[in-house]
Chain A
Amino acid sequence: MKILKILLIIFLMIGLSPLKSDEKNKALKNKILKNVRCLICQGQSVYDSESDFALSIKLIVDKKINKGSSEDQVYEFLRKKYGDWITYDPKFNKNTYILWLLPILLFLFGGAIIYKKIIKKNYKKKL
């Protein structure tokens, strides 16, 4: 009876493992598609779009994932074909450095103003 139970568990585990891998692939595919911009439909990701372009990209991403490509490899492939604009998460390079550095600079600038104001306030209080 015990052997039967163990066999049943093994059987179920073997039976469910492809399902698990399918779910994992689907989750990865959705994650990638949500981060890929639909170039012909403004403001929509490929995941949200049903345009011909989006359908083709969905197919190609599906094909690449089933072939075992990683998330980065899929992004790299799409960037090679369409440039950095295709992803919502652009890489840091000479075309995108302002995009990445400007928020940090603004944060530091704002921080400096606040810091200066606090110091001024404290100084006035001491007086």
Chain B
Amino acid sequence: MKNKLKLIIIVVFLIFCFVIFFKGLNNSNTYIPKINNEKNIPVFKAKEFNSNNYINSEKIFEENIYYIVNIWASWCVPCRKEHSLLIELSKNKSVKLIGLNYRDNLNNAKKFINELGNPYAKILVDRDGILSVEFGAYGVPETFLIDKDKNIIKKFVGPINKKIVEEIKIIIK
């Protein structure tokens, strides 16, 4: 009786371990940090890409519309892939795109924009990556959707795709 109980406990334990590891196989090995349901945008001062003037975050997000903050760099290959989708989004009047040029060479970044087009209403320079950390980003590309109350309501890690564009379009309608 005692041996039987032991066997049952061992079998249950092994099944438990198997289920945990089997479920883990399907999980992505990249950890995406969860953001709070509503997180205010950080307060910051940043250099403008075209004019080299410094601008306050309040001034950047002053209109009562949705904003998309997209972190990009000319050296980032997936950024090229998503650029046409960003241009598509920029045609929508209820949203403004803000680009955050991440740890990039200014000349290369300008070439990138000249070659692929400029979907951004404003581009900010994040030479040392500190601004991206303020947004809670950890790589490029990364896209944040900001609502009219200036809260980050969505965060997309990696390049955006058509499905994400549709999702954004539904939210900003």
Binding site for B on A (CB under 8 A): 39-40, 42, 52-53, 55-57, 59-60, 63, 81-83, 85-86
Contacts and interface: CB of A to CB of B under 8 A. Distances in A.
12 contacts: A39-B31, A40-B138, A52-B102, A53-B139, A55-B103, A59-B130, A60-B133, A63-B130, A81-B33, A81-B136, A83-B33, A85-B33
Contacts of B38: none
Interface residues of B, number: 16
Most buried by A among B33, B102, B139: B33
A65 to B, nearest CB: 14
B134 A81 contact: yes
Interface of B: 29, 31, 33-34, 102-103, 128-130, 132-136, 138-139
B interface: dominant SS: loop
Nearest to A38: B138
Nearest to A55: B129
Given A56-B130, A56-B132, 7 more contacts: A42-B29, A52-B102, A55-B128, A59-B129, A60-B133, A82-B33, A82-B138
Nearest to B136: A81
B24 to A, nearest CB: 14
Contacts of B139: 40, 52-53
B129 A52 contact: yes
A56 B131 CA distance: 9
Given A39-B138, A82-B138, A56 B133 contact: yes
Contacts of A85: 31, 33
A56 B129 contact: yes
Contact of B129 (A53, A81, A83): A53
A7 to B, nearest CB: 43
A37 to B, nearest CB: 9
A53 B128 CA distance: 10
A63 B133 CA distance: 13
Contacts of A81: 33, 133-136
A57 B31 CA distance: 17
